[in-house]
Amino acid sequence: MPLSRPLTAATGTALLGIALVACTDQALGTITARNAAAAYRQVISNPAVGGCHRFAQGATHVDNFTQNDIILYQGDSCAEPANGQSTYLATQSSDNVVAGAAPWRSFTIVGR
C-alpha cells in the first residue's frame, strides 16, 4: 500500500526537525551583558556551545535568554583567578555581581 503524499511530507519534515535539533551546536537565544554604569552593553546571539566566550568589558549584570545554562567567570579565560568564584546562571534568568566583587569577564555554555 503506497503512502499518501501528505503523510510522506509530514514524516520527512518531522525527521528533518529532529535531526536539526540533535545537531545544534549553538545555544539558541541571546546573552546580554552590561555594567553598573550602563555605559557598556553587549548582546551575544546564538553563542557556540563549547569554548570560552569573552565579554568586551567587565559585566556586572548578565541576562541569559538562551536554551542553555551558562557559567560566568571573573577571569577572562574562563578560569577563576585566585580568590575568584564562578557563577552558574540557569536558562531564562539574570544575575548581578555581588557588591564589591570583580565583574564577570567570560563565560562558557553548559552543553546538553
Query: According to the model, what pLDDT value does residue 60 have?
Result: 95
The predicted structure's pLDDT at residue 94: 97
- Supply the pLDDT for residue 99: 87
Low-confidence ranges of the chain (pLDDT < 70): 1-24, 112
pTM of the model: 0.76
Q: What domains can be seen in the chain, in order of their start residue?
A: 25-109 (2.60.20)
Supply the DSSP string of 22-87, one letter for each residue. HT--B--EEEEEE-TTSS-EEEEESPBSSS-EEEEEEESEEEEEESS-EEEESSTTSSPPTT---E
Q: In this predicted structure, what is the pLDDT of residue 65?
A: 97
